[in-house]
């Protein structure tokens, strides 16, 4: 009897199934990782870059706003001062202000002009929130644009800060230079008047008024400086005209100027114009002499003295000197109005005669004693009183 063989054991396939399943899952995951994840990660990276770019751009924009505000705070007054300098630091003004101050103001204006005032500096944009975009490429492009914008804003902010510093330093320096320039106007006005002493008194008075405004006014400075220059030029033209009128071809031009200087030397602050003619007040022919003076109390007191040519012809004859001093007594009355009223009781000839005697010019032919008072001089107390008018 043949015995039956024992049954063969069955092989288990469970492990292989599990391994196969794991492999399949891994393959799927690998496919997802290789196909799906890169775009996802790229998008996330682009979104993160874009968010960082938005934050950086907003922060840089805020820094730019601060730099821009500081720039404007420094640049605006400096550029306003430069505009003023461009109007008053000119060749037209140069002859009528201090030379050193003019050069200093010109250099200070040039220093402000040399500052980079950044005409191309962009105004900073307002802060903006991050936006939702449609694609990775859109996020990337937007991020790049914001990064470029932030870099440009940062560069502009740096330049604005540097320019603001330059304006902060040079603007006040220009203000000081302009102030120094204007401060020279009073002295220059005195020099101009002295150099043009034969010009009409009223023109010199107007020059003084214009100079005061040009030197001290806080408003419309350029206008007042221009008016001052115009007044100075009028004085110069008046000087030329007046000097030309004194040259009449009789060889007495220099003598006339000598007589005018003599009068100015004794009438104090009174400005006096001189007009010369053959006959004045009906006199001037032969050895006669005519004089006539008109004066004004306004504007510091000034006068116009008319003298006959004969005075220059016989100068310095004591008779003619005394007559000229008598006329000077009329001119200086513009400074002594109260004295004319008391003690001279409004008698202008008495005051002028007493004043001439008080000055030491006692020739009765010319000082008024003979012509007005029949050879009787004024009382001594009136002569003494006249000495207070100098």
| Residue at 11 is within a domain | no
Quick one: 168 and 35 in the same domain?
yes
Cis peptide before 190 (omega within 30 of 0): no
Give me 309's structure tokens: 């040519």
| Residue at 5 is within a domain | no
Q: What is the pLDDT of residue 1?
A: 47
Q: What is the pLDDT of residue 216?
A: 97
Q: What is the pLDDT of residues 54-71, one digit of tens each?
A: 888 899 989 999 999 999
Q: What is the pLDDT of residues 172-192, one digit of tens each?
A: 999 999 999 999 999 999 999
| Residue at 320 is within a domain | yes
Give me 214's structure tokens: 């040009």
Report residue 84: phi and psi, to 5°: -65, -45
Quick one: 236 and 315 in the same domain?
no
Quick one: 160 and 221 in the same domain?
no
List C-alpha distances in Å: 101 to 94, 180, 182, 227: 10, 6, 9, 19
- The Cα 135–Cα 115 span in angstroms is 46
Quick one: 170 and 196 in the same domain?
no
The count of domains in the chain is 3
Quick one: 152 and 288 in the same domain?
no
Q: What is the pTM of this model?
A: 0.81
Quick one: 90 and 156 in the same domain?
yes
Q: What is the pLDDT of residue 23?
A: 62
Range of the domain at 197: 186-246
Average pLDDT over the chain reads 91
| Residue at 206 is within a domain | yes
Quick one: 113 and 190 in the same domain?
no
- Domain boundary residue among 246, 273, 291? 246
| Residue at 237 is within a domain | yes
Q: What is the pLDDT of residue 33?
A: 54
276: β partners: 307
Give the end-to-end CA distance of the chain in Å, rounded to a whole number: 178
| Residue at 7 is within a domain | no
Quick one: 143 and 46 in the same domain?
yes
Secondary structure (H, E, C), the chain = CCCCCCCCCCCCCHHHHHHHHHHHHHHHHHHHHHHHHHHHHHHHHHHHHHHHHHHHHHHHHHHHHHHHHHHHHHHHHHHHHHHHHHHHCCCCCHHHCCHHHHHHHHHHHHHHHCCCCCCCCCCCCCCCCCCCCCCHHHHHHHHHHHHHHHHHHHHHHHHHHHHHHHHHHHHHHHHHHHHHHHHCHHHHHHHHHHHCCCCCHHHHHHHHHHHHHHHHCCCCHHHHHHHHHHHHHHHHHHHHHHHHHHCCCCCCHHHHHHHHHHHHHHCCCCEEEEEEECCECCECCCCCCCEEEEEECCCCCEEEEEEEHHHHHHCCCHHHHHHHHHHHHHHHHHHCHHHHHCCCCCCHHHHHHHHHHHCCCCCHHHHCHHHHHCCCCCCHHHHHHHCCCC
| Residue carrying structure tokens 């004004």 | 296
Mean pLDDT of 148-167: 92
- Domain boundary residue among 229, 246, 263? 246
Quick one: 95 and 178 in the same domain?
yes
296: β partners: 302
Q: What is the pLDDT of residues 341-355, one digit of tens each?
A: 999 999 999 999 999
| Residue at 26 is within a domain | no
Q: CA-based angle 199:203:204, to the nearest 5?
A: 75
Q: What is the pLDDT of residue 42?
A: 85
For residues 265 and 139, which has the higher predicted lDDT (pLDDT)? 265
Quick one: 96 and 177 in the same domain?
yes
Quick one: 51 and 113 in the same domain?
yes
| Residue at 15 is within a domain | no
For residues 264 and 25, which has the higher predicted lDDT (pLDDT)? 264
- Domain boundary residue among 221, 246, 271? 246
Quick one: 309 and 359 in the same domain?
yes
């Amino acid at each position: 009897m043949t015995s039956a063989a024992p049954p063969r054991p069955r092989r288990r396939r469970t492990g292989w199934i599990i391994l196969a399943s794991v492999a399949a899952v891994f393959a799927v995951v690998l496919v997802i990782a290789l196909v799906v994840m890169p775009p996802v990660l790229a998008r996330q990276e682009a979104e993160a870059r874009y968010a960082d770019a938005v934050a950086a751009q907003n922060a840089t924009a805020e820094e730019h706003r601060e730099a821009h505000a500081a720039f404007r705070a420094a640049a605006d007054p400096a550029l306003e001062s430069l505009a003023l300098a461009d109007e008053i630091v000119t060749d037209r003004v140069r002859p009528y202000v201090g030379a050193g101050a003019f050069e200093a103001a010109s250099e200070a204006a040039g220093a402000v002009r040399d500052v980079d005032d950044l005409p191309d500096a962009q105004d900073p944009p307002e802060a903006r929130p991050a936006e939702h975009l449609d694609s990775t490429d859109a996020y990337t492009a937007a991020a790049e644009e914001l990064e470029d914008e932030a870099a440009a804003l940062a560069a502009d902010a740096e330049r604005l800060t540097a320019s603001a510093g330059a304006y902060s330093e040079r603007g006040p320096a220009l203000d000081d230079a302009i102030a120094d320039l204007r401060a020279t106007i009073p002295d220059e006005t005195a020099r101009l008047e002295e150099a043009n002493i034969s010009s009409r008194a009223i023109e010199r008075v107007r020059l003084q008024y214009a100079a005061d405004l040009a030197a001290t006014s806080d408003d419309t400075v350029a206008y007042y400086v221009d008016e001052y220059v115009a007044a100075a030029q009028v004085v110069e033209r008046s000087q030329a005209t007046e000097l030309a009128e004194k040259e009449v071809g009789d060889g007495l031009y220099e003598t006339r100027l000598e007589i005018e200087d003599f009068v100015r030397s004794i009438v104090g602050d009174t400005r006096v114009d001189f007009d010369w003619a053959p006959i004045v007040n009906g006199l001037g022919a032969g050895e006669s002499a005519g004089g006539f003076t008109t004066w004004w109390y306004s504007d510091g007191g000034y006068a116009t003295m008319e003298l006959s040519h004969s005075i220059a012809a016989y100068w310095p004859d004591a008779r003619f000197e005394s007559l000229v001093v008598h006329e000077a007594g009329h001119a200086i009355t513009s400074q002594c109005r109260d004295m004319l009223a008391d003690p001279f009781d409004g008698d202008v000839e008495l005051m002028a005669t007493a004043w001439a005697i008080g000055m030491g010019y006692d020739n009765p032919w010319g000082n008024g004693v003979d012509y007005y008072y029949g050879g009787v001089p004024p009382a001594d107390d009136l002569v003494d009183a006249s000495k207070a008018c100098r």
